[in-house]
Amino acid sequence: MSVAVDPVVVLVGASSGIGRATARRYAREGARLVLAARGRDALETVAAECRDLGAAVLVVPTDVTKPDDVHALASAAVSEYGRIDVWVGNAGVFAYGAFDELPADLFRHVVETNLMGQVHGARAVLPVFRRQGTGTLVMVGSLYSRVGSPAISPYVASKWGVLGFAESLRQELRGTGVRVRVVLPASIDTPIYQHAANMTGRQVHPLPPTSSPARVARAIVNAPHRRRHALYVGRLQLVVLVVHRVAPGLYDAVVGWLMDHVELRGSGVEPTAGTVFDPPPVAGPVTGGWRSHRVGATAVAVAAVAALALVMRRR
């Protein structure tokens, strides 16, 4: 699939973490950008960085849970640049807590943001792609599009939904010139964990080792040019998938232990909705500072689990 020399890229969820890293990478490569997130001030910060790198940038504050907002985003992009070559659905929120302790509205809003936000994006951009006869829809899923974990059920539910939706859409769009790609990051060093809703009473941490957001940004930018539908990012991604497939009971035991001893720590943390309902007042950093944490013991433990799973598979 060929795209314009200076492709028009709509990037949803551009104000921090993976989105901010992706905006910078697209800017360096000469793309014309349309940046979207809930907060205008945060978007303007990222837009200024991209303009300094030589990119043309349009800022469109957008709440992906509102279909009218998302359709207005697509219209603004076409009005400004005449076309859309790539639409990146990256908006996402996180929530920690046992299912029966999570408020229903919190669970619903995570799903509406992470899954329905992708659905609204597809509805808005597909008519544009069909008129053009070309275009790529890139959805950002997760390792949790393929496996589960306790204490993050709304996130897991939403990300499994993203992968299933993307596969169905890909099948429907065969032969149209429109491509669907899914990027599936594992643990990434972003502020999403600091921004997460938390009903556990404990401090939350990503499962180490975390990868750089720059790696995910590279995968997103390269996705339209790859033949593969799903692109994985993360050192332990394949190990986790193997254990989940060949030794599901072992996976359940290990993932529960890791959540209770590695991802959740301490006590006395007040319940918070994080940024699930309201955006942060300023742009979030690209990284969350997690890569400086010690990860050796956990990495060894996960490697040992993988080795055990392979032994069990041979037997």
How much is the CA Rg of the chain, to the nearest whole Å?
19
| 169-206 pLDDT, tens digit each | 999 999 999 999 999 999 999 999 999 999 999 999 99
Instruction: State the average pLDDT over residues 4-28.
Output: 95
Instruction: Kindly state the tokens that stand for 173.
Output: 């769009």
**285: which DSSP letter?**
P
Q: Of how many residues is the chain composed?
A: 315
pLDDT at residue 300 greater than cutoff 60: no
Query: By the 8 A CB rule, do 124 and 36 touch?
Result: no
Using the predicted structure, report yes or no on whether residue 297 has a pLDDT greater than 90. Answer: no
pTM for this entry: 0.92
pLDDT tens for each residue of 152-169? 999 999 999 999 999 999
Q: Are 215 and 18 in contact (CB under 8 A)?
A: no
Residue-level pLDDT at 302: 55
pLDDT, tens digit, 9 for 90 and up, residues 68-98 = 999 999 999 999 999 999 999 999 999 999 9
Residue 272 DSSP class: B
Confidence class for position 298, pLDDT limits 50, 70, 90: low
Helix, coil or strand: residue 169: helix
Judged against a pLDDT cut of 60, whether residue 99 lies above it is answered with yes
3-state SS record for 91-146: CCCCEECCHHHCCHHHHHHHHHHHHHHHHHHHHHHHHHHHHHCCEEEEEECCHHHC
Is 278 within 8 Å of 238 (Cβ atoms)? no
- Phi then psi for 204, rounded to 5 degrees? -100, 145
Please confirm, yes or no, whether 155 is among the known catalytic residues.
yes
Does residue 62 sit within a domain?
yes
In a domain, 239, yes or no: yes
Q: What is the pLDDT of residue 172?
A: 98
> What mean pLDDT do residues 123-133 have?
98
* Coil, strand or helix at 45: helix
Does any domain span residue 232?
yes
pLDDT for 171 equals: 97
Task: Please say if the pLDDT value at position 303 is more than 70.
Answer: no
How does 205-214 read in b/e, with b if 16+ C-beta sit within 10 Å? Answer: bbbbbbbbbb
User: Is 2 among the domain residues?
Assistant: no
Instruction: Please report the DSSP string for 183-234 in residue order.
Output: EEE-SB-STHHHHSEE-SSSEE-PPSSPBPHHHHHHHHHHGGG-S-SEEEE-
Out of 96, 155, 193, 251, which one is annotated catalytic? 155
pLDDT of residue 209: 87
List the domain range (segments joined by +) for residue 250.
8-314
pLDDT interval class at 234 (50, 70, 90): confident
Whether residue 186 lies inside any domain: the answer is yes
Summarised one tens digit per residue, pLDDT across range 103-121 is 999 999 999 999 999 999 9
Q: What is the CATH number of the domain that holds 58?
A: 3.40.50.720
Q: What is the pLDDT of residue 238?
A: 75
Q: What pLDDT does residue 2 have? A: 46
Determine the Cα angle at 189 with ends 184 and 193, to 5°: 90
Residue 35 contacts residue 230 (beta carbons within 8 Å)? no
For residue range 260-277, list pLDDT tens digits in order: 999 999 999 999 999 999
Q: Give a yes or no: residue 199 inside a domain.
A: yes
Domains: count for the chain:
1
Q: Is it true that the peptide bond before 127 is cis, omega within 30 degrees of 0?
A: no
Mean pLDDT, the chain, as a whole number? 92
Percent over 90 (pLDDT), the chain: 85
